[in-house]
Chain A
C-alpha cells in the first residue's frame, strides 16, 4: 500500500471528482464530506511519500503501470516535490474545510459540481508536482487550468470577462510550454525529465540553438503562468472577481506550482551550469523580479479592493521567488524554495481572512476592516499573523525567506534585488498598517468629532462580536499556526528538505 502512495496522492482526488459529479442527488453535506475525506486521504499519502523520501534520503520513483521510463510515465517524489505536494494537499484540505459556508453561499445550486472542479484542480496541481514527464506535466497543467477557468467563472459579477482573459493568457502560456517541449523532444527524443537532463548535458546539445529556443519557450510559458512582471496583468483581475473559496484555493497554489515548474525546468531538466553560464539571463531576470517586487507592492498599495490588493501582493511575491531562483547562489535557491512554502501559507492565510470578512460584512473594500478587532477577534489575530509574514517580521516564516533571499542577493552582489526586497517590505508594512488603522480608527469624517471629552475615545460604543463560523475559523487558525511554525522550524525545514534539493553547481 505504501508503495502505491505516490500515485494515490493524485488518483484519490481524481476519483473523488468523478464521484462528486455523479452524486448530486445525495446533497451538499455528502459532497462536502466526500471532498474533505478525499483530500485528507491525499494529504496522508503525500505525507507517507515524503516519509519514504526522508527514509532513504533519495527520490522515490513510481512507474505508472510498471512501464520503464522512456515508454511509460514516471512519478518522481524527491525532497522538493514531496514538500510541495504536502503543501498543496494541506492547503487544499484547509480550503475544503473552510468552504462549508462560503462555497454554498457562492454556489446555491449544484455544489457537488463545484466541488468536483475543486477536486480536479487539486488533482492537476498535485500531478504537475509529482510527475517526472514533461508532456504529462503539460496535460496536468491544462487539467488544472481548465478546472480553474470553471471555478473562477463561478464567481460573482464581472467574473466571466476576467476569466475569459485568464483563459486566453493561460492558453498562450500552456501552448508556449508545449511548443518548447516539442523542441526538446526533437533534439533528445525523450520526454522523461531524468533522461532529458542526461541527454541535454552532452556538449553538442549545450551549444544547440534549438535547445535554447526550447528552453526559452518553456520558461516564457511558465512565466506567463506564474504571472511574472510584466506578464502579470491577468492575475489580480481574475482573483479578485472569484468566489471566496475559489480565491483561497487558486491564489496561493496556482502561481506557486508554476514557480515549482520553473525550478524543475531550470535545475532538473536543465542544469545550474547551463542556466547561469550558457543562458545567462540572470541579470535581466533579477531586474524583472526587482521591478515585480516594487511595482507589485506599489500597485497593491493603490488598491481599494482587498482581494485585488492581495492579488498584486502575489505579483510582488512572485518577483521574490523568481529573483531568488535566478540569483545563482545556494542561499538564493534556499530562499526561493522556502518562500514557495511560506508564501503559499501566508497568502492562504490572508485570502481566508479576507474571505471571512467578506462573508460577514459583505464588503470587499478596506472599509470592511472597521472594528474588526471587536467584531471578529480571532480573524483579526490571524490577519495580523499573515500581515506580519508578508511584511517579513520575525518569527513568522516571511522573515526567514526574506533573510535567505537577501543573503543570497548579497552573496551574488545583486544590490538592486536587495533594495527591491527592502522597499517592497516597507511598502507591505504601509499597506497593512493602513488597514490596521482602518481597523483601529475607522473612518475619520464620521468618528473624529464624535467623541470630545477626557478620554477622546474615537471608537463608538461596543460592537457586537460576529465571528466567522467555526468551519472557517479552524482552518484559518491552523494556517496561522503553520505560518508561525514554519518560521520557528526553519532550520529543520531547510536541513531536512530544502538542502537536499539544492542543485549541484553553485
Chain B
C-alpha cells in the first residue's frame, strides 16, 4: 500500500506520537480542550500507524529500525513483528478508549492536577508501544523503566497517605526487580552472548551454546521475577497496593500498560531470548508452569475474600496474568497461542471491569461489593457490561476469554500435563465464585437497608464514561465470535 520506507518510519512515528504529546499536553494545561485534543491527536496517529503496520506485517514482513547506537554492539532499535504487533494493537486502541473515559472520569470528579495526569498517561502509552516494538533487551529495558517512572505520579495521584504507601510499594517492587535482577541478568547475558538482540523465531533463542546450565537457570529466574510488573507471586504485592489510584489509572495499570508490559517482557524473554528448545531441554517451562499455577490459584482465593471491588479485580488480574505466562511456559503450540491471545482478551475484559468499577464510583460513590445490592437495576448498562466482561474472565463462550481457555486446555493436554488441566478447571470455578456474586447481587440483591433511598437518586454514569465501557464489552464479545482477527497474528508467532 505504501512504500517500504513508510513502514520504516511508522514505528518511530507511533512511538514519537505519544512522546511528542507529553510536552504539548503539559504546556496547554490552561486550556483543557486543547490539552485533550493533543491526547486524541496523538492516540489517533499512533493507532493509524499501528494499523498500517499490521497490514504490512500480515503480509509477512518484519520492520527493523535502528534509532541510536548506544554502545558498540548494542543499539536502541525497534522491530515490528507479529508478537509485538498484537500488543501494540491492543495498547494503541485502548488508549483512545481509555482517554475518552479518563476525561469523563476526571472531569466528573473534578480531579486536581489533570494536566500532569494526562501527560503521564501519554508517556506511559508511549513507553508501552516502545516495549512492544523493541528489537533487543536493552531497548525493552529502557522503555520498561520509563513506564515505571511515568506511572509513578499516576499511582500517587491522590497525594494522600494511602496512595503514598501504594506508590512506595509500587516503586520498591518495580525498581527492585528491574535494577536488582533484570539489569545484572542483562549485563551478564551481554557479556556471555555479546549481543542482546532477540532471536528471529521462538524455538532457537539467542543464548549461545556452551553456557553452563546453572547460569542459564539463574538468568531465567532473574528475568522471570525481575519483570515484577508481571505480577507473579511473590512479586505481585505492588498490584493491590497500586489500586488506590484513580480508576482510569487502575484500568491502565491492570489492563493495558503496566501489567501487560510485564507479561509481554516475560514472554518475549522466554520465547525470543531463551527459546522453546532450551526451556524444554532444561525443564524450565514446566517449573515456570507450576510456579504460575500456584499464583493462579492463590490469587483467585485471595480475590474471593476481598469486598472492595477494585481489590477483587486487582487479585483477579494477578491470577489472569499468570494464564498468559502459563500458556507460554507449557511450550506446546496450542498453549502458546492460548497464552498470547489472552493478552488481548484479558485486556479488553479487564479494562471493561475497571471502567465499570469507576462508573459505579462516579455514579453511586460505592467501592464495596457488599453495598452494591440492587445497583444493577438502576445502572443496567454498566452491570450488563460488567457481566459480559466477567464471562470473559471466567472463560465462557461466546466471549473472548473462552478462546483462551480452549487453547490453554488444548495445550495442557498436548503437553500431557493433567495437573495443569486441573488447575485451569479449578481456577475457572474460582472465577465463577468471585464474579458471579457481584453480578447476582447487583441485579437481584436488595439495596442496603440503612442506605434507604440511595438507589432512588442513582443514575447511570455520564455517557462519556458509558460509551467506552460498552465499546470494550462489545469488543470482548467480538473477540470471542471472530477470534481469527487477532489469532492470525498469534499464529504467525509460531514457527
Contact = CB atoms under 8 A, between A and B. Distances in A.
Interface in B224-265: none
Contacts of B184: 406, 410, 418, 422
Interface stretch (A11-19, A75-83, A286-294, A387-395): A387-395
B191 interface: yes
Given A393-B145, A455-B112, A426 B175 contact: yes
Contacts of B471: none
Interface in A255-271: none
B110 interface: yes
Interface string A457-471: 111000000000000
A488 B156 contact: no
A406 B81 CA distance: 31
Interface of A is mostly: helix
Interface stretch (B158-166, B387-395, B481-489): B158-166
B162 to A, nearest CB: 8
Interface of A: 373, 388, 391-395, 400, 402-404, 406-407, 410-411, 418, 422, 425-426, 429, 433, 436-437, 440-442, 444, 447-448, 451, 454-459, 487-491, 494-495
A491 B191 contact: no
Given A407-B190, A455-B112, A459-B113, A440 B159 contact: yes
A487 B70 CA distance: 8
B324 to A, nearest CB: 26
B109 A455 contact: yes
A425 B179 contact: yes
A394 B187 contact: no
Contact of A411 (B70, B113, B149, B191): B191
A489 B156 CA distance: 33
Contact of A394 (B142, B152, B153): B142
Contacts of A488: 68, 70
B71 interface: yes
Contact of B70 (A373, A393, A451, A490): A490
Of A391, A400, A440, A489, most buried by chain B (CB within 10 Å of CB) is: A440
B60 interface: no
15 contacts: A400-B70, A410-B188, A429-B171, A429-B175, A441-B160, A448-B160, A451-B160, A457-B160, A458-B158, A459-B113, A459-B159, A487-B70, A488-B68, A488-B70, A491-B70
Given A394-B141, A440-B159, A457-B159, A494 B72 contact: yes
A433 B161 contact: no
A422 B159 contact: no
Contacts of A394: 138, 141-142, 145-146
Closest 9 CB pairs of A and B: A458-B159, A394-B142, A491-B69, A406-B187, A457-B112, A458-B160, A456-B158, A456-B160, A410-B191
A488 B164 CA distance: 33
B174 to A, nearest CB: 10
Contacts of B160: 441, 448, 451, 456-458
B361 to A, nearest CB: 9
Contacts of B112: 455, 457, 459
Contacts of A400: 70-71
Contacts of B167: 437
B180 interface: yes
B307 interface: no
Contacts of B365: 454
A403 B71 contact: yes
A459 B160 CA distance: 8
Nearest to B110: A455
B179 A426 contact: yes
Interface residues of B, number: 41
Contacts of B76: 395
B218 to A, nearest CB: 12
DSSP majority for the B interface? helix
A477 to B, nearest CB: 14
A436 B159 CA distance: 12
Contacts of B175: 391, 426, 429
A261 B168 CA distance: 41
A334 to B, nearest CB: 9
A410 B192 CA distance: 10
A422 B180 contact: yes
A422 B159 CA distance: 29
Taking each of B116, B158, B183, which has the highest tally of chain A beta carbons within 10 Å of its own beta carbon? Answer: B183
Contacts of B110: 454-455
A381 to B, nearest CB: 10
Contact of A491 (B72, B141, B149, B176): B72
A456 to B, nearest CB: 5
B416 interface: no
A444 B190 CA distance: 44
Contacts of A388: 149
Contact of A441 (B70, B111, B156): B156
B314 to A, nearest CB: 19
A472 to B, nearest CB: 21
A393 B109 contact: no
Nearest to B141: A394
A448 B161 contact: yes
Interface in B121-175: 138, 141-142, 145-146, 149, 152-153, 156, 158-161, 164, 167-168, 171, 175
Contacts of B180: 422, 426
Nearest to A448: B161
Contacts of A458: 158-160
Given A391-B175, A433-B171, A442-B159, 17 more contacts: A394-B145, A394-B146, A407-B191, A411-B191, A422-B179, A426-B179, A433-B168, A436-B152, A437-B156, A437-B168, A444-B164, A455-B109, A455-B158, A456-B160, A488-B70, A491-B72, A491-B75
Contacts of B113: 459
Contacts of B149: 388, 393
Interface in B54-81: 68-72, 75-76
A422 B146 CA distance: 18
Contacts of A442: 159
Contacts of A459: 112-113, 159
A388 B116 CA distance: 19
A451 B160 CA distance: 9
Nearest to A410: B191
A491 B179 contact: no
Contacts of A392: 179, 183
A440 B156 contact: yes
Contact of B71 (A411, A441, A448, A490): A490
Contacts of B187: 403, 406-407, 410
Given A394-B145, A407-B191, A444 B171 contact: no
Of B141, B146, B158, B179, most buried by chain A (CB within 10 Å of CB) is B179
